Structure 1
Amino acid sequence: MPAPTSSLIVVSFVLLLMGSRVSQAQPAASIDARADRLVQASLLVDGHVDLPYRLNDFYENPADSTVGGDFDYPRARAGGLDAPFMSIYIPTYLQSNPAAATNRADALIDLVEEIAAAHPAKFALATSPDDVRQISKTEAVALPLGMENGAGLGGELDNVEHFYDRGVRYITLTHGTHNRLGDSSYDDSEPRWNGLSPFGERVVAEMNRLGIMVDVSHVTDATAIDAIEQSNAPVVASHSSCRHFTPGWKRNVSDNLIREIAGTGGVVMITFGSSFLRTAYQDRDDPIRNRMNAHIDAMGWAEDSREAVVYEQRTRREHPIGTVQDVADHIDHAVDLVGTEHVGLGSDFDGVFVLPEGLQDASGYPALVAELLRRGYSDTEIQQILGENLLRVWTEVAAAAERPSE
């Protein structure tokens, strides 16, 4: 046998370094079948699904197939989804009315509770990782809660405990504009606090005391760093992707923030919305949405009518932007920075207008898993990303709350 060339040696060394990330050629059907088995056998936790707010606008029974949105029980079961965090979303226009913001949060929690009570074989409330694991042994989908926008606290520190008692297990500190807790990455005005506000610092401390995960999606970098420094427990980004692919767009998290979140033991949960995936995708949905709205107006349909909802859903289906590969690229990037143990999924289903082809609703997780398999991820690594990482963080946050403060 001839001696190996220097180039062959280099290639072999690179492959050795890449380890399990080297994909093996397998038939597509074999990978797809393996992906289906893997999602059904794994605990799949999604950090952010906006079902409550969607149903607040146009109610459908999520226990059956629905005409609107991205999530319902049949699609969740098809996709292997075990525990979607229900977003208790507080719109920014309610921030000026603290009582109304708190009432909206309570009303959306009421809605989730009503769904679980009406369909106990299909949905069950979950307030702990143990709940999720127990529910996953049944045919029901677990429904943990996360509050999106700390404005729902109404500026009252006591409401942190009120919403803990109601089942909320993470709070996204801000949303579209600066609020009483801190500054928002979406707000183009001058920073209000240059990070967390004094009230925000007290809220983070109270969340730590009770065992509520601190969520830094939507906040500015300064607010995120303040929250990380203030928290004595792991921090999460429940639905954020990598700014590396959208330079200058601060809603996604920077490489530094990914490292900082991982440094707490936390998890960055990659979202699926097309605008999060590539800068080039961010303006492509506007013409689609404008044509859709013009047609709805021309037909004289109310925005919350069944006709409008059906037409919007058909429009979204016919115009995907991006691919499953784009989402996998974000996972790859975060994994390369901090390892598989600090990466998860936060789809933002029901909260975004356009999604990538193959990931347009809750039945699509196997397509993403198949792509990760093609890229050489092991079953164990995929199971970490699908849910075990977030369950670990949730467990650690609860355990930190049980320890006396030092």
Structure 2
Amino acid sequence: MLIRFALALLLVVAAFVPASVGAQADDPNLARAKRLLSSTPLVDGHNDLPWRIREDSAKPRNVVAYDLRGKAPGHTDLARMKQGMIGAQFWSVYIPGEIKDSGYARVQLEQIDIARRFIALYPERLAFATRASDIHRDFAQGKIASFLGMEGGHAIENSLGALRAYYDLGVRYMTLTHNVTLDWADAALDEPKHGGLTPFGKEVVREMNRLGMLVDLSHVSPGTMSAALDVAEAPVIFSHSGARALVDHRRNVPDSILVRLKTNGGIVMVPFVTSFVSAKVHDQENARDDELKAAKTHYPSDSLAVAHHMAEWLASHPAQTATIADVANHIEHVRDVAGIDHVGIGSDFDGITDTIQGLGDVSKFPSLFAELARRGWSDADLRKLAGQNLIRVFTQAETVAARLQKERLPSTATITELDGRLHP
């Protein structure tokens, strides 16, 4: 409890610290960014609003009570999405990887249901979408093309039939893992078991390509990234990952993978996660975790002593912050290593607690484009970043799927057939 109180106190104090708010209202670069986004759909690769609705403290899972026409408690509502000039949104239908006893498939279906219901609830602004061409169609009508993205292959429960069923329900990308290593794929934040993908994991990628479901490599280990690129017949995406050369976070993408996107055609969508984009924030989080581990070792049976120790540590270590410049640096690194055709944006709004200074919610996207304009980006390159790159990737994946569906039938392979006995 004391640890939570100390964290809450630091957040309150931080709220009163002057922030570098990025572009000002009279900034010509901001005006240029808004003109550009008024004619080019801005595609955000990752927003966790469906889970936020599920976990709402007042009325959990109630899509009507979580009113997006008013000021929502999180980072996202209709008015702020309009201010942010969002043209298309991939809504993450995330489920945790640690709920096995509750049934992954049941919870996944509930999250798809929540997302589809809130999309249908606001037809004046949101349009359920399943194809790349829907983005321009809905943008022309003043609506936000709303796609579903699954965050973690644990939800298919080792079944290609389940994968196909999720596609039929509207899922258009799947992150191969979340934070837990699966029976067939290694995760970035867990112990590797397979050196990447097992034979069944490779079959999952092939079947996703046949369906036209985008293969999302955020959250996976470098070995899984490499194995997926070896197998993939369509461009891959990283829906919310930064550059590991700038911040050595396991969730970020190494340069050795970035260079392979030139051949694969894929895209890294840079997130607004403070510890992914700021080395100072990342280092402080590691130091905090190390301090907590040491405190628990020193006070093995005294949780109050641990809490008191950590409260003192937090009070003497002011929170580090991340800025729009940090995000822009990651975008430019991906551009420099992979190429301008291989970078996009995947905010992770409503899946994060701390926010970037100047990027506090979905209304602030134009400020990021103003920062890049200030750095000398051309209109053509800003349009690619905004959405043209993702639309190209999506369209190419659909083209590959159309060809593969003529060449082969749905896979009936099982994990037992391809991998033998499952790992314990």
Per the alignment, residue 213 of structure 2 pairs with 212
Cα deviation 1:31-77 (Å, max 9, x = unaligned) = 12111222222110011110101111015535323342211111111
Quickly say closer, same or farther: Cα 1:228–1:286, change in 2 above 3 A: closer
Distance (whole Å) between structure 1 residues aligned to residue 277 and residue 379 of structure 2: 25
Matches within 5 A, 1:26-41: 29-41=27-39
Distance (whole Å) between structure 2 residues aligned to residue 213 and residue 345 of structure 1: 16
1:73 aligns with 2:78: yes
Per the alignment, residue 178 of structure 1 pairs with 181
1:146: how far off?
0.7
Quickly say closer, same or farther: Cα 1:213–1:186, change in 2 above 3 A: same
Matches within 5 A, 1:5-404: 29-58=27-56, 59=60, 60-94=65-99, 96-97=100-101, 100-187=103-190, 189=191, 191-247=192-248, 249-282=249-282, 284=284, 321-403=321-403, 404=406
Matched letter for residue 53 of structure 1: W
1:168: how far off?
0.7
* Number of matched pairs: 346
Matched letter for residue 399 of structure 2: A
Q: Secondary structure at the match of 1:281?
A: helix
Q: Secondary structure at the match of 2:245?
A: helix
Distance (whole Å) between structure 2 residues aligned to residue 272 and residue 155 of structure 1: 31
Q: Secondary structure at the match of 1:282?
A: helix
Distance (whole Å) between structure 2 residues aligned to residue 284 and residue 120 of structure 1: 43
Matched letter for residue 79 of structure 2: P
**8 Å CA contact retained: 2:260, 2:338:** no
Cα deviation 1:97-134 (Å, max 9, x = unaligned) = 4x721111111111111112222112111101111111
Cα deviation 1:326-374 (Å, max 9, x = unaligned) = 1110111111112211100011111112121111111111110001101
TM-score by length of 1: 0.81
Q: Secondary structure at the match of 1:124?
A: strand
1:284: how far off?
4.7
Quickly say closer, same or farther: Cα 1:70–1:320, change in 2 above 3 A: farther
Q: Secondary structure at the match of 2:352?
A: coil
Distance (whole Å) between structure 1 residues aligned to residue 104 and residue 321 of structure 2: 33
Q: Secondary structure at the match of 2:103?
A: helix
**8 Å CA contact retained: 1:63, 1:122:** no
5+ residue gaps in structure 1?
Answer: 1-26, 289-318
Distance (whole Å) between structure 2 residues aligned to residue 380 and residue 325 of structure 1: 21
**8 Å CA contact retained: 2:124, 2:143:** yes
**8 Å CA contact retained: 2:247, 2:282:** no
Distance (whole Å) between structure 1 residues aligned to residue 255 and residue 131 of structure 2: 30
Quickly say closer, same or farther: Cα 1:55–1:262, change in 2 above 3 A: farther
**8 Å CA contact retained: 1:169, 1:212:** yes
Provide the identity percentage. Answer: 38
5+ residue gaps in structure 2?
Answer: 1-24, 289-318, 409-424
Q: Secondary structure at the match of 2:134?
A: helix
Distance (whole Å) between structure 2 residues aligned to residue 119 and residue 33 of structure 1: 28
